[in-house]
Amino acid sequence: MFLLIPAAGVGKRMGAKGNKLLLKLQDKPLLAWTLINAEKSQEIEWIGIMGQPYDFKEFTQIIKQLSLTKPVTLIKGGDTRQQSVYNGLQALPSHAQKVLIHDGARCLATPELFDRCAKALDNCQGLIAAIPVKDTIKIVDENKTVIDSPNRDYLWAAQTPQGFDVELLKQCHNQGLELGWEVTDDAALLERCGYSVQIVEGEETNLKVTTPMDLTIAEFILNHGKV
């Protein structure tokens, strides 16, 4: 199984001056934790990291310090996550048939989750890790007036990894590029192209580190051995 990690963003909501994946969680950068868990996965055999070239020196140092046994390729990312994934798809080895895409900021995803998603790809063309929504969700208009309260039984919060047939995802990315679609995850491209996307049960601890509070929560999770 091939893994692509978008890691080209800037942590604006984190208040970071540069790439938030270089911020420390305990004694390691966020990206290091993501790579450690990917390394432990029994299914993943190759890792590609999409980033900005000015971060590659630090990415290389992280990879070297971890002494990873799996090959890691650094790939020039784009201005958006969508562009970065597009670039990553073009850089996959030619024999890659299935791919997992995992946000580097979800640094606590377990090896078991990677493996579960990889195995589930044997039976579908596209999937996302997700967990049931606990809160009641409100849909509002431009004046912040509630206009609907959807049934929580049908609501799931999307996570990553997300997994896809490589050729199908390339096709959907190309269509999105031609039609000017802007999406926040790759599953949305498949949905717009009329393909079904399956759910794989995610993990409560698989949070996306976006704000300083998220970093504190991730620290708490690690300190209490929940991952």
Question: What confidence score (pLDDT) does residue 24 get?
Answer: 93
- What pTM did the predictor assign? 0.94
pLDDT at 118 over 70: yes
56's torsion region: left (phi>0), alpha (psi -120 to 50) or beta? alpha
Query: Are the C-beta atoms of residues 135 and 150 closer than 8 Å to each other?
Result: no
pLDDT tens sequence across 126-143: 999 999 999 999 999 999
Query: Are the C-beta atoms of residues 177 and 86 closer than 8 Å to each other?
Result: yes
pLDDT tens sequence across 175-188: 999 999 999 999 99
Tokens 């850089």, located at residue = 91
Confidence of residue 226 (pLDDT cuts 50, 70, 90): low
